[in-house]
Amino acid sequence: MRMVKIITTALFVAGSLSFASAATAEANFKRCIACHGVKAEKVPPGGTIASATLKADEIKKTLRGYKNDKTYGGKMKMTMQLQVKPFSEEDLDALADYIFTNFYIAK
Ligand code: HEC
């Protein structure tokens, strides 16, 4: 019986953690709106595509690229290098999932 309680508690904690990270992503996304639009639907100034047209995995790859590879991206890459700096890779993945889940525009 005791084991069941421990497992239930563990599941509850895991559940609230993923909820927290979605809420964090929603808050973090506010920093992106000025250039990308409220639904990531705009092509950012100097950019080439709207993030909302990308799949979650593509957004993750892009954000990790800006974070980990100084040569990654287009002519405005330095803008994005600065934007992703405060975030961990987990934060960036959560942001990518948040954008894809809420705003995806099929091409
Ligand atoms: C100051 C304006 C600005 C802000 C703020 C900003 N971006 Fe960007 N973003 C750009 C520009 C410009 C590019 C194109 C960069 C390049 O040339 O590689 C870009 C590119 C991207 C891309 C690659 C695909 C695309 O849409 O062009 C993603 C994904 C992205 N940004 C996500 C974000 C996220 C998530 C945030 C918030 C954490 C954010 N950006 C904040 C300007 C901005």
Q: For the chain, what are the domain ranges?
A: 2-103
**How many alpha carbons fall within 13 Å on the CB side of residue 83?**
22
- Please report the pLDDT score of residue 93 as a whole number: 96
- Please report the pLDDT score of residue 91 as a whole number: 96
Please work out whether the CB of residue 95 comes within 6 Å of at least one atom of ligand 1: yes
Please work out whether the CB of residue 56 comes within 6 Å of at least one atom of ligand 1: no
- Please report the pLDDT score of residue 2 as a whole number: 72
What is the per-residue pLDDT across 54-83, written as a single tens digit (0 to 9) for each? 999 999 999 999 999 999 999 999 999 999
- 33 alpha carbon to ligand 1 midpoint, in Å? 10
Query: Which residues make Cβ contacts (< 8 Å) with residue 46, sequence separation at least 6?
Result: 75, 76, 79
Q: For ligand 1, what atom is nearest to the CA of residue 50?
A: 26
- From the number of C-beta atoms within 10 Å of its C-beta (0-12, 13-18, 19+), residue 24 rates as middle
Total-model pTM:
0.87
Q: Which of 105, 85, 84 is nearest to 95 (CA)?
A: 84
- 10 alpha carbon to ligand 1 midpoint, in Å? 36
What is the per-residue pLDDT across 30-48, written as a single tens digit (0 to 9) for each? 999 999 999 999 999 999 9
CATH architecture of 2-103: Orthogonal Bundle (1.10)
Tokens of 74: 């287009």
Tokens of 30: 């506010």
**Strand ranges for 1-107 from DSSP E:** none
